[in-house]
């Protein structure tokens, strides 16, 4: 066993070799080392572990703070018609559905404030002429029912907003459709930010609503076409 005195007064080659052994094996010390050296090593090792744990805890706290701030941050953006759409579904003959979308005709502005939901603003405009079922004859029939030339826009503006949780709101406001304005409530699910194929950041919400066409004066072959219109409004910036 080497004493502290032996180590300090050893020839340079011996001292260097002994020091090198410690330098290249920081995770352990020989059981033959002097007790003072063993104790010093244990203190150094414990200090390193504590410092490492502090860094990990600090990083975790920073991450949690960033996530919390992101979840509660105010969000304002213009709706991008190219990335937004309104999907609709109506029952037909009780055995199938008519499905389609208002594609590329959605515009407006969104401003959501989690800390003050009552200040949140959602404005939508939907061009009725953009309706598409991928069947030309059916498109013409439905556009005729909606009288798209006389009523070129469907609009919505909220009058209140209720925050359910960080990812969901209930939006109540005035929906104007086919020249009739009624109060409705959307269920709005926020989506997280993501990158589009061009690498640009995108955000928005998926909004769900069911209305009765008869309440908005939209007539048709009632026995064949259902009264309920199921809407999914996909808003993106």
135: confidence class by pLDDT, cuts 50, 70, 90 = very high
Question: For residues 7 and 201, which has the higher predicted lDDT (pLDDT)?
Answer: 201
Domain ranges within the chain, ordered by starting residue: 4-71, 73-236
pLDDT class for 157, splitting at 50, 70, 90? very high
Instruction: Establish how many alpha carbons lie within 13 A of residue 192's alpha carbon, considering only the half-sphere containing its beta carbon.
Output: 4
Tokens of 231: 């809407």
Higher pLDDT, 111 or 54: 111
pLDDT of 92 reads 82
User: Span 93-117, mean pLDDT?
Assistant: 88
For residue 30, the model assigns a pLDDT of: 53
Q: Which two structure tokens, joined as six digits, stand for 113? A: 């404030």
Torsion (CA) 167, 172, 173, 178 in degrees, nearest 10: 90
**Average pLDDT, stretch 108-128?**
89
Say which residues have a Cβ less than 8 Å from residue 156's Cβ, sequence separation at least 6.
Answer: 122, 123, 124, 173, 174, 175, 176, 184, 186
CB-CB contact of 226 with 90 (8 Å): yes
CATH class of residue range 73-236: mainly beta
**Is residue 11 very low, low, confident or very high in pLDDT (cuts 50, 70, 90)?**
low
- pLDDT for 202 equals 73
Confidence of residue 31 (pLDDT cuts 50, 70, 90): low
pLDDT above 60 for 200:
yes
Write down the pLDDT at residue 115: 83
The pLDDT value recorded for residue 50 is 55
pTM above 0.85, yes or no: no
């Amino acid at each position: 066993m080497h004493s502290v005195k032996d180590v300090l007064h050893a020839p340079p080659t011996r001292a260097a070799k002994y020091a090198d052994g410690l330098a290249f094996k920081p995770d352990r010390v020989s059981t033959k080392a002097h007790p003072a050296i063993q104790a010093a090593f244990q203190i150094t090792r414990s200090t390193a572990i504590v410092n490492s744990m502090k860094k990990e805890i600090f990083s975790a706290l920073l991450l949690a703070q960033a996530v919390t701030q992101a979840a509660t941050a105010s969000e304002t953006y213009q709706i991008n018609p190219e990335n937004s759409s309104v999907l609709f579904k109506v029952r037909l003959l009780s055995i199938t559905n008519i499905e389609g979308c208002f594609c590329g005709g959605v515009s407006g502005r969104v401003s959501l404030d989690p800390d003050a939901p009552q200040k949140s603003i959602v404005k939508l405009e939907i061009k009725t002429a953009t309706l598409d079922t991928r069947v030309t004859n059916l498109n013409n029939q439905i556009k005729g029912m909606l009288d798209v030339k006389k009523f070129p826009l469907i609009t919505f503006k909220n009058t209140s907003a209720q925050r359910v949780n960080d990812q969901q709101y209930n939006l109540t406001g005035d929906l104007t459709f086919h020249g009739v304005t009624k109060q409705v409530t959307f269920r709005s699910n926020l989506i997280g930010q993501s990158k589009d194929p061009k690498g640009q950041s995108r955000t928005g919400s998926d909004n769900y609503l069911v209305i009765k066409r008869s309440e908005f004066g939209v007539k048709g072959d009632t026995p064949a076409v259902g009264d309920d219109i199921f809407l999914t409004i996909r808003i993106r910036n």
